[in-house]
Amino acid sequence: MISKRKIQQKCGYKNSYLKAYEDINFLKSDSARAVRVQLELLKPEAVLEAAGIKETIVCFGSARIDEAGRAKKRLHAAKAAYDKNPNNTKLKNNYLEAKGLLGLSKYYDIFVLQGFYIML
C-alpha cells in the first residue's frame, strides 16, 4: 500500500485530502479551468434569478470610447506628440488608437447622449 506522503510526493500536490471545492489551489489550476468558466456563467445567472430578473439585455462596449469632443482633443494631442517624434512606435500606436476611438465616438453619442442605456 502506498502512503499518503508518497502519493503527495508523486503528484506534487499536498492538499489532496481537501474536497475539490475547498481547495483554492486546485480551483486555480489549469485542470479546473473549465469549471471556473462554468462558475463565471452560473454565478450571475443565480444572482439574477434570486433578484427575480427573468430577461436582460447585454450591451458590449468599451470604457475607452468617449464623446466626440473629448475624442477629437485626444486625437489632436496624440497626433501632435507623434508628429514631434515620428519614429516612436508607442506614439504612433497612441495616435492610431485615438483615431480609431474618434470613429467609434458616434456610438457614445447614440447610446449615451440619446439615452439608449439603463443604469441599474
pLDDT at 65: 82
The mean pLDDT of 92-111, rounded to a whole number, is 89
Entry field: residues in the chain: 120
pLDDT at 10: 62
Over the chain, what is the mean pLDDT?
Answer: 83
- Per the structure block, which three cell numbers stand in for 34? 473549465
The mean pLDDT of 71-78, rounded to a whole number, is 96
pLDDT at 120: 44
Q: Is the pTM of this model over 0.95?
A: no
Structure confidence by residue, pLDDT tens digits, 17-69: 788 888 888 888 898 999 999 999 899 899 999 999 988 877 666 677 888 99
pLDDT at 47: 92
